Amino acid sequence: MMVVTEQLLDVSEMEPPEPLVLVMEAAEALDPGTWLRMRHRRHPCLLYDNLTQRGFDSLTRSRGGEAVEVFIWRSGDAEAAVGARSAFDAAERHG
């Protein structure tokens, strides 16, 4: 049985391009069954195309104001997808 886990990366205090670089490095290093929850102070517009081009899926939620969380996992990693979607749904329910 695979262990499904979350990695948290808070880039909300960083200046561009550091958040994009760190998030992509962290995503590339994800183990099977692991997803990344990134916290940022605004929508990371450049991130989404980079994720798609490198084979990742994501969900984004606003946390009030401009703050966002992006849940990222490798496309095809069913366990990580279920874990990330479950964490996303729980975060949506609890604000």
Q: What is the pLDDT of residues 41-77, one digit of tens each?
A: 988 989 999 999 999 999 999 866 778 999 999 999 9
Amino acid letter, residue 87: A
> Is this prediction's pTM over 0.85?
yes
Alpha helices in the chain (DSSP H): 18-28, 45-53, 78-94
Integer Cα distance of 11 and 39 in angstroms: 6
CA 31-53-1 angle, to 5 degrees, is 20
Place of tokens 């499904």: 4
| Cβ partners under 8 Å of residue 25, min gap 6 | none
Which is higher by pLDDT, 57 or 95? Answer: 57
